[in-house]
Amino acid sequence: MAKGYLIANIRVHDAEAFEEFKRLSGAAIADYGGKILARDPDADYREGGARGLVTLIEFESPEVAQAFYDSTAYSAARRVREKISQTDLVLVTGL
């Protein structure tokens, strides 16, 4: 079965408040069996306009990734993140 991945580029405007997002989102990630594979505030961008903290999270399947994103727990975290950052986020299916 293919894995599901969440890839985010987050441009944080309030580092202190971002800690609350990390706490809330970390609990939601754990609830859905997610594994953070990468988190890099200094990614080596080569092409495109996306910038910021890059995060790559693996889930057991695309369906679990979608369920995580749509969950009540992550929705609460997302509301915090939306107030203190700009984000580009995609869900992708592994090979």
pLDDT (tens digit per residue) in 37-86:
999 999 999 999 889 999 999 999 999 999 999 999 999 999 999 999 99
Q: What is residue 28's predicted lDDT score, i.e. its pLDDT?
A: 98
Count structural domains, the chain.
1
Q: What DSSP string describes 21-61?
A: HHHHHHHHHHHTT-EEEEEETT----SSS--SEEEEEEESS
One-letter amino acid of 70: D
Tokens in use for 34?
A: 């997610």
One-letter amino acid of 87: T
CATH number where 23 lies:
3.30.70.100
pLDDT (tens digit per residue) in 14-29:
999 999 999 999 999 9
Q: What is residue 87's predicted lDDT score, i.e. its pLDDT?
A: 97
Domain that holds residue 11: 4-93
